[in-house]
Chains A and B, each alone.
Chain A
């Protein structure tokens, strides 16, 4: 059973516009959420995170929103740049069974930002 879902395999946006990447989760014990960015032939790179005690976290052009009641989070990139083109993974961890050091990943969304 997939506990972290990224239902959009790909997303294409124009440079300068907003990119919105979505992620849903099913495990109510998850309380920490992360976004990673991955370029081809490289490892995933940590981008931004949010704890369940917050509903928004911002870092420059990147903002993550968390809706706990809907078990949904989203990553907003404003403005989008061609260098943002990459695969974005949503990940989650929780305190269930002391497993707050393990991450569960979604399948990823390929973002393409067109010049």
Chain B
């Protein structure tokens, strides 16, 4: 999906390890979001940002931290990974009211 790049695309972690997922956009959108998708659960909002330097909690924020030091980047961190955080993580961008545009996801497995 043009405009939203997520890295890495795949990662396997051991329980207790930490990692950071990066979302980068080239569309100059103010709003950025992190979702997780689990089987049968749809997309659930983890954290979001309404502008550079701001972050806020979504529906399922526990176990995650985020930062938006630059407008084009939104980082999602797992300080101590747990098997329950095995999921597909999607970053999205938006301009406010209206559609959000998604990256292709990061598939994360925690053993």
Summed over the interface, the residue pairs from A and B with CB atoms below 8 Å come to a total of 53
CB <8 Å contact, B104 and A34:
no
List the B side residues contacting A6 at CB < 8 Å.
42
Interface size class of B (residues with CB under 8 A): 20 to 34
Q: For the complex, what is the distance from the CA of A43 to the CA of B99, rounded to whole Å?
A: 14
Provide a sorted-by-A list of 5 A–B residue pairs whose CB atoms are within 8 angstroms: A32-B98, A42-B104, A43-B1, A46-B99, A107-B40
CB <8 Å contact, B43 and A105:
yes
Interface residue? B100 (CB, 8 A): yes
Query: Among the listed stretches A54-62, A64-72, A74-82, A96-104, which one makes contact with chain B, having 4 or more residues with CB under 8 Å of it?
Result: A96-104
CB <8 Å contact, B43 and A44:
yes
Interface residue? B41 (CB, 8 A): yes
Minimum CB–CB distance for A101 against chain B, Å:
5
List the A side residues contacting B31 at CB < 8 Å.
101
Minimum CB–CB distance for A58 against chain B, Å:
17
Interface residue? B94 (CB, 8 A): yes
B5-34 interface with A by 8 A CB criterion: 31
Minimum CB–CB distance for A45 against chain B, Å:
7
Besides A44-B43, A107-B41, 19 new A-B residue pairs in contact (Cβ under 8 A), listed by A number: A9-B40, A32-B97, A32-B98, A42-B1, A42-B104, A43-B90, A43-B102, A44-B90, A45-B1, A46-B101, A49-B98, A93-B97, A101-B50, A102-B45, A102-B48, A103-B45, A103-B100, A105-B44, A108-B42
